[in-house]
């Protein structure tokens, strides 16, 4: 079976439905919603951030929460000072907020990390020696690369969700007895498509396997519930959840984490250290402290928890309705652009979050991104999106002469005007080409004699 690239002509061309900003449900406000950026023409426009999939903007509520904490910023744990006690309380309360956000069991641990990549590497270090690991080859590098060796099985992703379920069953039949871990993705980093996590988890359970869910791309768009999905571990990145302060989490079963060698060694991970002369005797703390050596990122963790609370309080119905309204408008408009080809794993009809990756016939993806930025004030992503196997396979099957695509990803900061602007810009590019001269600089397209000034706080 093969992955598919869906050409525009396979979907009936329709006119984007009329949508007004007022029609979009009220969602949490983001920082920078009114930021203007310069164009090569000398004008300034409000920035259209259509790259939420890489890093989401900060929620206004998160910024306020951080500002509230900063006057009390101090050491976490074992500090006698009042500010230290405040930060310790904030840090430990955040564990419960994140635990609740992902529907974790009361016995699950919440280990704070830098991001989901860090969390998955931690989990990889904690898997028992000799365990079998099964992954799908279309995963993000964070979920793919930590698992390497003779007991790792990588499944070539089939073209349907049902095929993926069958393929996992076939793979698990071939794994030896003993500890098993299946690594799944909630939503594709490349296409935004939702994976059949519950069905895949049910197959894993029949073989006694544990399940780790990479929810980095899913959690900003849909609720995640460990118990409802019947998975054992979930990893999250706060920077994709509107809290860009360098935090993430591994949430899940405690037993492997309690006995694994500490991910990092140092203060906070120990119960005691004894000098035996020729060596140091060390007693390690249990998880989560076992894997959180060093001064913790209390500001990032507080921001992370604040984002989880803010999204939950506003309600998932509003978040999903906001995105669905705008994403429907985007895809309808894209399918009217000549030469548009959408990348898809399971087909155009598969449910997805607000992410679409595509190519335009005859247009270099890097140049498309550069033009959108320089001439229209729009931020998108181009490349292979840290999922090289998936992206290159999709492009290769389309006969593309490039190994990159363009990705538009929506979120809470997206408006109807952003959608209209990017559609108009792409139509103009296809019809008339770039309005400015461009050249390759350090491997990327850039305007010739780019006149756009950087903000004053950035060194020239």
Range list for CATH 3.90.1150.10 in the chain: 4-58+315-447
Can you list the alpha helix ranges (DSSP code H) found in 59-185?
60-69, 82-101, 116-126, 141-144, 161-174
87 is catalytic: no
- The CATH code for residues 4-58+315-447 is 3.90.1150.10
Mean pLDDT by 10 residues, the chain (460 residues): 38 40 71 97 97 97 98 92 97 98 98 97 95 94 91 92 96 93 96 97 97 98 98 98 98 97 90 84 89 95 98 96 97 96 92 96 96 98 92 75 90 97 98 97 96 89
d(CA 142, CA 240): 14
User: According to the model, what pLDDT value does residue 15 have?
Assistant: 40
Q: Which residue out of 58, 87, 308, 386 is catalytically annotated?
A: 386
User: According to the model, what pLDDT value does residue 25 have?
Assistant: 58
Assign a CATH topology to domain 73-313.
3.40.640
Name 274's bridge partners.
281
User: According to the model, what pLDDT value does residue 398 have?
Assistant: 57
Range list for CATH 3.40.640.10 in the chain: 73-313
Q: What phi, psi does 8 have (nearest 5°)?
A: -60, -35
- Find tokens 């209390």 and name the residue: 298
- The pTM of this model reads 0.92
User: According to the model, what pLDDT value does residue 311 have?
Assistant: 97
Helix (H, G, I), strand (E, B) or coil at 323: helix
User: According to the model, what pLDDT value does residue 402 have?
Assistant: 75
Contacts of 185 (CB under 8 A, 6+ apart): 136, 138, 139, 140, 143, 195, 213, 214, 217, 218
Contact in structure between 298 and 76 (CB atoms under 8 Å): yes
Strand 378-379 to strand 355-360: parallel, antiparallel, or no bridges (unpaired)? unpaired
Cis peptide bond upstream of 288, omega within 30:
yes
Q: What is the DSSP letter of 191?
A: T
Strand 270-275 to strand 132-136: parallel, antiparallel, or no bridges (unpaired)? unpaired
d(CA 217, CA 214): 8
């Amino acid at each position: 079976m093969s992955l598919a690239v869906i050409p525009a002509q396979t979907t009936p061309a329709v006119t984007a439905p009329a949508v007004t900003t007022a029609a979009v449900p009220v969602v949490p406000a983001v920082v920078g919603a009114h930021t203007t950026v310069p164009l090569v023409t000398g004008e300034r426009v409000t920035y259209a951030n259509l790259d939420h999939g890489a890093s989401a903007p900060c929620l206004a509520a998160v910024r306020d929460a951080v500002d509230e904490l900063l006057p009390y910023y101090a050491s976490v744990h074992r500090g006698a000072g009042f500010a230290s006690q405040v930060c310790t309380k904030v840090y430990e309360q955040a564990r419960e907020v994140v635990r609740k956000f992902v529907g974790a069991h009361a016995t699950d641990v919440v280990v704070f990390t830098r991001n989901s990549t860090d969390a998955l590497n931690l989990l990889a270090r904690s898997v028992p020696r000799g365990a079998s690991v099964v992954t799908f080859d279309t995963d993000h590098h964070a979920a793919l690369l930590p698992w390497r060796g003779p007991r790792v099985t990588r499944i070539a992703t089939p073209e349907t969700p049902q095929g993926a379920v069958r393929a996992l069953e076939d793979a698990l039949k071939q794994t030896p007895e003993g500890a098993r871990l299946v690594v799944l993705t909630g939503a594709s980093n490349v296409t935004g498509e939702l994976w059949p996590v519950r069905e895949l988890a049910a197959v894993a359970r029949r073989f006694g396997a544990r399940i780790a869910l990479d929810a980095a791309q899913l959690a900003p768009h849909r609720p995640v519930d460990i118990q409802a999905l019947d998975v054992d571990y979930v990893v999250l990145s706060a920077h994709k959840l509107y809290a860009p302060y360098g935090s993430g989490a591994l949430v899940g079963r405690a037993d492997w984490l309690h006995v694994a060698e500490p991910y990092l060694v140092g203060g906070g991970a120990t119960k005691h250290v004894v000098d035996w002369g020729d060596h140091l005797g060390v007693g390690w703390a249990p998880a989560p402290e076992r894997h959180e050596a060093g001064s913790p990122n209390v500001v990032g963790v507080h921001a992370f928890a604040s984002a989880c609370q803010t999204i939950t309080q506003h309600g998932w119905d509003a978040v999903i309705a906001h995105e669905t309204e705008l994403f429907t408008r985007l895809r309808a408009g894209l399918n009217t652009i000549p030469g548009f080809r959408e990348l898809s794993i399971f087909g155009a009809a598969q449910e997805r979050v607000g992410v679409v990756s595509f190519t335009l016939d005859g247009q270099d993806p890097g140049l498309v991104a550069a033009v959108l930025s320089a001439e229209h004030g729009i931020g998108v992503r181009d490349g292979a999106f840290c999922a090289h196997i998936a992206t290159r396979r999709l492009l290769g099957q389309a006969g593309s002469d490039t190994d990159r695509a363009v990705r538009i990803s929506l979120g809470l900061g997206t408006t109807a005007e952003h959608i209209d602007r990017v559609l108009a810009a792409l139509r103009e590019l296809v019809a008339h080409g770039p309005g400015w001269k461009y050249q390759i600089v350090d491997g990327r397209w850039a305007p010739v004699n780019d006149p756009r000034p950087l903000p004053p706080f950035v060194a020239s």
